[in-house]
Amino acid sequence: MGMEDETRAFLIRIVNTVAMVLLWMMTNVFAGIYEEWAFFSNKPDWINIGYYAYFLITLVMLIRYLKKKWEL
């Protein structure tokens, strides 16, 4: 007794989506909080600007990837 192929593909797509979002979130949390690139000391530094640019670029890339993955 096995799982239907369509159901299996759907569940794999869900797991892949969750994994990609968690990987993206962990990367940004590590860089932003642990490395303290998201926090301003007195004024924005080049590392803060670079971090937020990376954050926005990868967010757009992630959204495009997920939209493409979920189109039927």
CA distances from 15 to 11, 46, 47, 49, 53 (A): 6, 36, 33, 32, 28
Q: Which of 30, 72, 32 is nearest to 52 (CA)?
A: 32
State the pLDDT at residue 1.
59
The structure tokens 């690139």 sit at 37
Q: CA–CA separation, 72 vs 56, rounded Å?
A: 26
State the pLDDT at residue 2.
72
State the pLDDT at residue 49.
96
State the pLDDT at residue 3.
76
CA distances from 23 to 3, 7, 67 (A): 28, 24, 17
Q: Which parts of the chain register pLDDT below 70?
A: 1, 72
State the pLDDT at residue 69.
95
